Homo-oligomer: A and B are copies of this chain.
Amino acid sequence: MNGGHDLGGMHGLGPVEAEPGEPPFHEEWERRAFALTLAMGFHGAWNIDASRHARENRHPVDYLSSSYYELWLKGLERLLAERGIVDPAEIGHGHAAGPRPEGMRPAHDPETAAAILARGGDARRDGAAPPRFRPGDRVLVRERAVPGHTRAPRYCRGRVGTVDRDHGGFVLPDTNAHGLGEAPQHCYSVRFAARTLWGEAASPHDAVYVDLWDGYLEPAP
């Protein structure tokens, strides 16, 4: 989606502000929202792409005026509501109105959780179609103004870059976020001259590298 989260290249958002001490969390609720999101993720009721989409898919004012962990909370609430795991009314009352949905396992204990964290989630997949591009190929990023999830930022769509490396086959976020399967494709690092993206406002020496899936690209004309 062309959403408020797609920030690359926007003006008017102000200076980058340093912060003394830079604690990872600023309020107790941020700690809990962070941990709840991770812990509920362990259940596998959604994947990371669905969870990114649940955070980004909202009015730009809502997105841009919410803090980072506020977006995590809103995303989590939406995922839980959409899947019938927690009704918003239950949060309003502060108590569960029913048991956990059938088929969901009980809470992960600390040891299991630690093992899941350490294992991580490998997003690389065998079975992708053969790569259509090779390092050095000039590619055009296709315009696809679809309302769903995608990881091609607007600033590089319709622009020509050069494939820098092939990362291998990876789960495709565009389908995976919407329950349409992992549909793995090769994912490439594509180098764009900064001037291709921003015109003469940019330095002729600089470049931006964007990781883009095979289907996002076509051979440059």
Contact = CB atoms under 8 A, between A and B. Distances in A.
A154 B8 CA distance: 12
A199 B2 contact: no
Given A1-B12, A154-B154, 14 more contacts: A2-B11, A3-B10, A3-B12, A4-B60, A12-B58, A12-B59, A12-B63, A60-B60, A60-B64, A142-B199, A143-B196, A144-B198, A144-B200, A144-B201
Contacts of A57: 12
A189 to B, nearest CB: 21
Interface string A63-79: 11100000000000000
Q: Is the interface of A mostly helix, strand, loop or mixed?
A: loop
Contact of A60 (B2, B9, B13): B13
Interface in A1-35: 1-4, 9-14
A139 to B, nearest CB: 14
Copies of this chain per assembly: 2
Nearest to A56: B12
A159 to B, nearest CB: 6
Question: Which 3 A/B pairs are nearest by Cβ-Cβ distance?
Answer: A145-B198, A143-B199, A1-B11
Given A65-B61, A158-B159, A197 B11 contact: no
22 contacts: A1-B11, A2-B9, A2-B11, A2-B12, A3-B11, A4-B12, A10-B60, A11-B145, A12-B59, A13-B59, A13-B60, A14-B59, A61-B64, A61-B65, A65-B65, A143-B198, A144-B201, A145-B197, A145-B199, A145-B202, A146-B199, A158-B159
